[in-house]
A and B are shown apart, each in its own frame.
Chain A
């Protein structure tokens, strides 16, 4: 009897152990499996400059959106749906962006688009997407008019319901830079330069307005050609103006050489810009004398955000060749916002995509809210991010180092 009991207990233990071992094996065997959803494919378009001067930022956007899609598929976040990325290169050109927008609209599987980088490109895409009710979430556009209309300083009117963004606008970024330059850096005379593009001229305008209100003096203004690399004439004007600081509205391919040539002309004064210059390529172009140059950027430094740790680790593990750059976290959150909106629509439709999925996804985007890489992600009545953080960075020892952070709570 005792022997039989021993056998029974031993057999039960063994069976239990084998069952549990089998469970463990199955769990590890699922890693990396991201298909077998048994349902439809939803394509998320990505539009960004993937070639040319601004490709460092554009490729960071593309890779980060791709990472979001991989994670959603791995988690089987939307049952029955497999997400895919289709990326198109706009070369930072509005005309190319518009063509890409039309292509995405013509492909029925595309239910949302992440991008673009440039506000001027966004202007050319907005109507195309809005007419097709295809939602667009930009991780990087900062031009206020895109969400609040051309007369945003007096009367905010949202022009397109299909346009959203996860980045903070220049309506906050420009004045924040002005406050830092005037109050903290104690610079009272500024020379303002822009590249005549939507982003650059808009940012320079919001900076100038606040700088003047604070009592600062604009001692000169200039516009440069974005295709140029020789800025020696402008540099000489800066030198002769007696400016204590230069504000540049534009992007790093021009900002780097501009900073270098201003210093070479004998004006050892800092160049200040917005998020468009906050890329490591700026230092390569500007050289060692860039120390002390400043940039504001939308969002808090990624290393300060507990929510970004997983993103940084996942991005590294995924083995992308390029850095995630200034907008990686925002691109991940933009793609994730589209995925969340698709999930809402599918859940509300008995687990299937409805026939008017695009319109429904656009509608659902307004109510999307989640804890993203960059903090809490949701949108206000204009389609702007409700999370509005900014950081001032300074060049120190060849790197951008955060020197001041702000939160807009208005």
Chain B
């Protein structure tokens, strides 16, 4: 004997025929009353068991629910992008020098755009070469919102021709950028067209006789 055989069904454990809930032959009265009593009790027991499962399932789901990150506006500043990573600056073209600019001045335009994140404020624009200084229009500081671009006119003044870079291969502008994450100085290397036009403008400016 293995000791394992088909278990005898206990009281109240008879499976109902799925498609035939009622026996066609009516049972005896005593048996009917007992069955009805058991059925009533069983319903309560089943209802309680199902309720317990529902509560346990709900509790499990609540405890293991996915934790979503807080909405973007609630994020701490450390989760925002650095300003230099969202700002682009490109060279546009030469511009007319504003009236009243000092001698040996020339102007050009650049386009500053902010791709994403909070607004970015340009607090300073400089260039690294001795013998040159610059002004911007609009004057710093100025603010640019995400998804927008701003044209900036830069007017350079040659203060010492001997020190000006007449033939720089990759000249750049240093732009101080600020957003709610950080303040950064980023060098924007504006490419060969800017390099050529800067060299040409410097040669012209320094070949002029100034009274």
Residues on A facing B (Cβ under 8 Å): 3, 6-7, 10-11, 13-14, 17-18, 20-21, 24, 172, 175-176, 179, 183-184, 209-210, 213-215, 300, 304-306, 375, 388, 404-410
Can you give 30 A-B contacts (C-beta < 8 A)? A3-B44, A3-B47, A10-B47, A10-B51, A13-B58, A17-B53, A20-B61, A172-B189, A179-B128, A210-B169, A210-B170, A213-B167, A213-B168, A214-B129, A305-B82, A306-B79, A306-B81, A306-B85, A404-B187, A405-B84, A405-B184, A406-B172, A406-B188, A407-B88, A407-B89, A407-B189, A408-B189, A408-B191, A409-B188, A410-B194
Question: Is B141 interfacial (CB-CB < 8 Å)?
Answer: no
The interface residues of chain A lying within 8 Å CB-to-CB of B172 are 179, 406
- B61, B170, B186, B194: the one contacting A405 at CB < 8 Å is B186
Q: With contacts A10-B51, A306-B79, A409-B189 known, what are 14 further pairs, Cβ within 8 A?
A: A14-B54, A14-B57, A17-B56, A172-B189, A176-B170, A179-B187, A183-B129, A213-B168, A300-B84, A305-B82, A306-B81, A408-B189, A410-B190, A410-B192
The prevalent SS among residues of A at the interface is helix
- A11, A300, A407: the one contacting B50 at CB < 8 Å is A11
B188/A407 in contact, CB under 8 A? yes
Residues on B facing A (Cβ under 8 Å): 43-44, 46-47, 50-51, 53-54, 56-58, 60-61, 64, 79-82, 84-85, 88-91, 128-130, 163, 165, 167-172, 184-194
The prevalent SS among residues of B at the interface is mixed
A407/B57 in contact, CB under 8 A? no
The interface residues of chain A lying within 8 Å CB-to-CB of B53 are 14, 17-18
B189/A10 in contact, CB under 8 A? no
The interface residues of chain A lying within 8 Å CB-to-CB of B85 are 300, 304-306, 375
The chain B residue with its CB closest to the CB of A375 is: B85
Knowing A17-B61, A306-B81, A406-B186, the reply to whether A210 touches B50 (Cβ < 8 A) is no
- A7, A405, A410: the one contacting B43 at CB < 8 Å is A7
The interface residues of chain A lying within 8 Å CB-to-CB of B188 are 406-407, 409
Q: Bound complex: CA of A11 vs CA of B148, how far in Å?
A: 56
**Nearest CB of A to B203, in Å:** 13
**Nearest CB of A to B118, in Å:** 13
A175/B169 in contact, CB under 8 A? yes
